[in-house]
Amino acid sequence: MVKKFYIETYGCQMNVADSEVVAAVLEKEGYEFVKDIEQADLIIVNTCSVRENAEVRVRGRLHHFKSLQKKRPEILIALIGCMAERLKDELFEQEKNIDIIVGPDSYLQFPKLIKEAEHGDNAMEVELSLTETYKDICPTRIDDNSISGFVSIMRGCNNFCTYCIVPYTRGRERSREVQSIVNECKDLEARGYKEITLLGQNVNSYNFVDGDKTFVFHDLLEIVAQSVPSLRIRFSTSHPKDMSDDMLKIMAKYDNICKYIHLPVQSGSDSVLKLMNRKYTKDWYMGRIEAIKKYLPGCGLSTDVFVGFHGETDEDFQDTIDLMKDVRFDLAYMFKYSEREGTYASKKLPDNVPEDVKGSRLAKLIEIQRETSFESNKADLGKTFEVLVEGISKKREDQVYGRTSQNKVCVFAREDFKRGDLVNVKVVECTSATLIAEPVL
């Protein structure tokens, strides 16, 4: 009989938040969360399907679990999340040691599915919902040493970018009640957390109707900023087509809202953006960048971009290079396009850019961004920033590290500082990835 469970999480921050929801659901039914896999009666793997590599890693872990099951045949294995939703009962055939499959909208059914599996039956629930937000669940914080917490404000996505699997694995957009979000933020504050990140596949499309009042994202952001003034507030991810000036004005108004925006562009080519169904043009995107710089001077900026989408020409790629050079992001997450089965692109837009061309384009983009990141960090030399200490530096035990409001990683002398402290520091050196600073006493 299952008494103790262990969770491994792969993929994005939203999956971390979902794992904490699952832990809360199971603990409410009397199950105990453990950090040691050897103690677990149930091993839960929370999966991501956005990129193929994430699924490959999961399959590797499932293979590893077979050795645990040889020693303890009664151990149950549950696969949850996007990979479970995408492949459904195919997984029972592909991975023979899986006992339970649960989609992102079915976590409240988990206790029932465990009981079915204990009787020797494969158990599965992957029904997508138009309403489920887990508004009545206060997540269990799995990392009890953390100072930064994730708060899911909405689920699903309505954008249907042609390359993306998310709308098919997480369903349509639905927003969580304002008070439910505020309650969770206050719970984190009471537990000693110092920072929260509001999460949504597209936070800018948050829309909750309460009677005759409609709350959109900038309304929620202001309410949260006022409700937990001692917490730093971040959010992710913003979609360029929905990012409003009102949101930027709220960010400028409150000191506890971090001055950092992650704004995925994906490509700098209008023709490629149209094929991707991104619903904006390069000029529109640049207009949003100009608005950020107008309302939030010095705001940290990062993006997602990938090369080699269907039909991308040398001219299209040059448009992306030009955009990257014009915007000068502090950080960029860069990838080669990898076709995902089940998307519109996989059915209608062949993956027709050669791998060697993708590789050379990606290498060029990475080099440009490395230089840009270094220039961005050099521009911070001599400036003073407030840094939230996150822990001891991995490279030097006499240093601590943390992030500025602009989300830049900063290291400085350890002294008596501890996790959760807010420290003013002056930048004295830098690399392309890190600010090196001295405490301002």
pLDDT of residue 354: 98
Q: Does the pLDDT at position 144 exceed 80?
A: no
Are 169 and 104 in contact by the 8 Å Cβ rule? The answer is: yes
Helix pair angle (217-227, 245-253), 10° resolution: 10
372 and 272 in a common domain: yes
pLDDT of residue 1: 83
Lowest mean pLDDT among 9-13, 171-175, 271-275: 9-13
User: Is the pLDDT confidence value at 52 over 90?
Assistant: no
- Which residues form the domain of 432? 384-439
Claim to verify: residue 220 and residue 170 sit in the same structural domain = yes
Structural domain ending residue among the three candidates 353, 379, 405: 379
Q: Where are the beta strands (DSSP E) in 83-212?
A: 100-102, 123-125, 148-152, 154-155, 174-175, 195-199, 207-210
Q: What is the pLDDT of residue 54?
A: 87
pTM of the model: 0.94
Flag whether 132 is in a domain.
no
Report pLDDT digits (tens) over 401-416.
Answer: 999 999 999 999 999 9
For residue 434, the domain's CATH number is 2.40.50.140
Are 289 and 328 in contact by the 8 Å Cβ rule? The answer is no
Same domain, 331 and 247: no
Rounded to an integer, the average pLDDT of 85-94 is 95
177 in the same domain as 110: no
Are 154 and 218 in the same domain? yes
Residues 6+ apart with CB under 8 A from 112: none
Q: What is the CATH number of the domain that holds 251?
A: 3.30.750.210
Per-residue pLDDT at 173 exceeds 80: yes
Residue of higher predicted confidence among 12 and 266: 266
CATH number of the domain enclosing 352:
3.30.750.200
Instruction: State the pLDDT confidence band at 11, using cuts at 50, 70 and 90.
Output: confident
Grade residue 80 by pLDDT with cuts at 50, 70 and 90: very high
CA neighbor of 218 nearest in space, from 243, 183, 184:
243
Q: Among 224, 258, 292, where does a domain finish?
A: 258
Q: pLDDT tens digits for 244-283?
A: 999 999 999 999 999 999 999 999 999 999 999 999 999 9
Contact 155/171 with Cβ under 8 angstroms? Answer: yes
Name the pLDDT band for 51 (thresholds 50, 70, 90). confident
Residue 12 has pLDDT above 90, yes or no: no
What percent of the chain lies above the pLDDT cut of 90? Answer: 95
Separation of alpha carbons 107 and 100, rounded Å? 12
User: What confidence tens digit (pLDDT) does each residue in 297-346 have?
Assistant: 999 999 999 999 999 999 999 999 999 999 999 999 999 999 999 999 99
